[in-house]
Amino acid sequence: MKKVTQFLVFSSLFISMLLAHVSLSAQNIKPDADNAGLTLPKGFAALKVADNLGRTRHIVVNKQGAIYAKLERLDNGKGVLVLKDTDGDGRAETKTSFGNYIGTGIAIKGNYLYAASNKEVFKYALNDNGDVVDENAAATIVTGLIDKGQHNSKSITLDNAGNIYVNVGAPSNSCQEKDRTKGSMGMMPCPILDSAGGIWQFKVDQLNQSYASGVRYATGLRNVVGLDWNNQLNQLFVTQHGRDMLNNLFPDLYDTTTSAELPSETMYAIKKGDNAGWPYVYYDHIKGKKMMAPEYGGDGVKTVDDKYINPAMAFPAHMAPNGLLFYTGNQFPARYKNGAFIAFHGSWNRSPLPQEGYYVVFVPYENGKPTGKWEVFADGFSGKSVVKNPRDAQHRPCGLAEGPDGSLYISDDVKGTIYRIMYQK
């Protein structure tokens, strides 16, 4: 009898372990019949984890599979959402919220959650279940960052040495004396770079840091929204939104087509002290050159060969790379491992040509370097075959996160949809 009981206990334990495993595995989660409206490479499937959440910007998934999403507009007075899938079907059944500030950046490192407003970075302790211990006990680790409306979102990522990296976007298009005003020339040197237009580094274990106590880790970056720490290379990577309106500001030098196609959107591998050259230069991926900006004497022909770093990758203009994620999971086929996913929010600066972007791309890496090629990975967010006007897009990809099982999560900040992409062969 004792043996039978023992057998029953063990077998039920085994079965429940098996079930637990099954419920976590993407192989057994049923995707949406229409793949959540997305077009994906063969073998991939998608579902909507949650919908109509509001303006979900960046997202992060904890080890238990719960999603934290940062909101750009408060929902019932709260700015951080917590979504949980309680029955293992891949869809979120519960939604809670905390934090009375809007913002973009959110990240988890070790047992801490970090979330950014447009001026500050807050830190919350997580318990063993990956839940925030006390939602009202936010430690302010960074404060007083510039927020002048334009390019004010703060994105964050962390290294493995106790540092956090924060983007401070330049509240300007090209550092003209009069912003975005036809014919106005660039300020020399650009005074904005003292407190914006770069990446600042702070300590994770110190409170109330600001410009004086932080390090300007990299400069000459107009507006970075996607940034991620590459753990394989132990290096910071960022995606920059390139400048706007070459034709409107300097119609004698650039026609509307050139202005729609240039400058490149860029991804940089950053080392401490790097300068990417904004506002003095912009990158031209067609020529493969750094070009002197027209506000600083450029004419569409003059190049700048020294001083500034080259991008690791360049993309067509104005597509707005809002999310960057190095994929480290094992669920996707091997070629995706250690490559980069980039969420392109979609352009507005290309009219009268059709807009571009509104999709998630994959950048393959080989031996720690991008191969130079990129491919559209997930498309169909906008719900249109061609987006002529930005307000027509039904969804716009913004944030990226990797789940504990290697699923890729994508947020949309128009309607607040969270997508989950799985490989199911």
Partner 1 sequence: MQRIYLTFVVLFLFIAGVSAQTNNKLVAASFARGKTVYLQRCMVCHQADGGGVPKLNAPLDASTAVNGSDVAKLIKYIVKGFADRVEIDGELYSNVMPAAADLKDEQIADVLTFIRSHWSNKAGPVTKLQVKQTRSKLK
251 binds partner 1 (CB under 8 A): yes
CA distance 153 to 201: 16
DSSP string, 200-243: EEEETT-SSB-TTTSEEEEE--S-EEEEEEETTTTEEEEEEPPP
Burial of residue 159 (CB within 10 Å: 0-12, 13-18, 19+) is: middle
CA 19, 21, 23, 27 torsion: positive or negative? negative
- 251: preceding bond cis by omega (within 30 degrees): no
> At closest approach, how far in Å is the CB of 348 from partner 1?
4
248 binds partner 1 (CB under 8 A): yes
Cβ distance to partner 1 smaller for residue 152 or 240? 152
The 3-state DSSP class for residue 249 equals helix
- 263: preceding bond cis by omega (within 30 degrees): yes
Cβ distance to partner 1 smaller for residue 71 or 138? 71
Alpha helices in 90-215 (DSSP H): none
182 binds partner 1 (CB under 8 A): yes
> At closest approach, how far in Å is the CB of 29 from partner 1?
32
Identified binder of partner 1 from the candidate list 179, 275, 289, 364, rule CB under 8 A: 179
**Whether 246 contacts 295, CB under 8 Å:** no
> At closest approach, how far in Å is the CB of 164 from partner 1?
24
Identified binder of partner 1 from the candidate list 149, 161, 373, 385, rule CB under 8 A: 149
Question: Site residues for partner 1, window 331-360 (CB under 8 A)?
Answer: 348-349, 351-352
181 binds partner 1 (CB under 8 A): yes
CA distance 278 to 275: 8
CA distance 360 to 408: 11
> At closest approach, how far in Å is the CB of 251 from partner 1?
7
> At closest approach, how far in Å is the CB of 415 from partner 1?
11
Identified binder of partner 1 from the candidate list 180, 216, 337, 384, rule CB under 8 A: 180
80, β-bridge pairs: 70, 98
Q: How many residues does the chain have?
A: 425
Task: Say how many Å lie between the first and final Cα of the chain, rounded.
Answer: 45
Identified binder of partner 1 from the candidate list 2, 3, 42, 178, rule CB under 8 A: 178
Give me the 195-224 binding string for partner 1, x by CB under 8 A, dash otherwise. Answer: ------------------------------
Cβ distance to partner 1 smaller for residue 174 or 266? 174
What radius of gyration, in Å, describes the C-alpha atoms of the chain? Answer: 22
372 binds partner 1 (CB under 8 A): no
CA distance 92 to 405: 16
> At closest approach, how far in Å is the CB of 368 from partner 1?
36
> At closest approach, how far in Å is the CB of 111 from partner 1?
34
> At closest approach, how far in Å is the CB of 235 from partner 1?
30
Q: How far is CA 143 from the centre of its chain?
A: 21
> At closest approach, how far in Å is the CB of 306 from partner 1?
32
322 binds partner 1 (CB under 8 A): no
With contacts defined by CB under 8 A, name the span among 30-38, 89-97, 194-202, 244-252 that binds partner 1. Answer: 244-252
Cβ distance to partner 1 smaller for residue 360 or 393? 393
387 binds partner 1 (CB under 8 A): no
DSSP single-letter state for residue 367: T
390 binds partner 1 (CB under 8 A): yes
Element of type H or E holding 80: strand 78-84
Q: What is the residue whose two structure tokens read 């202005």?
A: 259
Question: Site residues for partner 1, window 46-105 (CB under 8 A)?
Answer: 72
- 397: preceding bond cis by omega (within 30 degrees): no
> At closest approach, how far in Å is the CB of 118 from partner 1?
10
Binding residues (CB under 8 A) for partner 1: these are 72, 149-152, 178-183, 244-245, 247-248, 251, 259, 348-349, 351-352, 388-392, 414
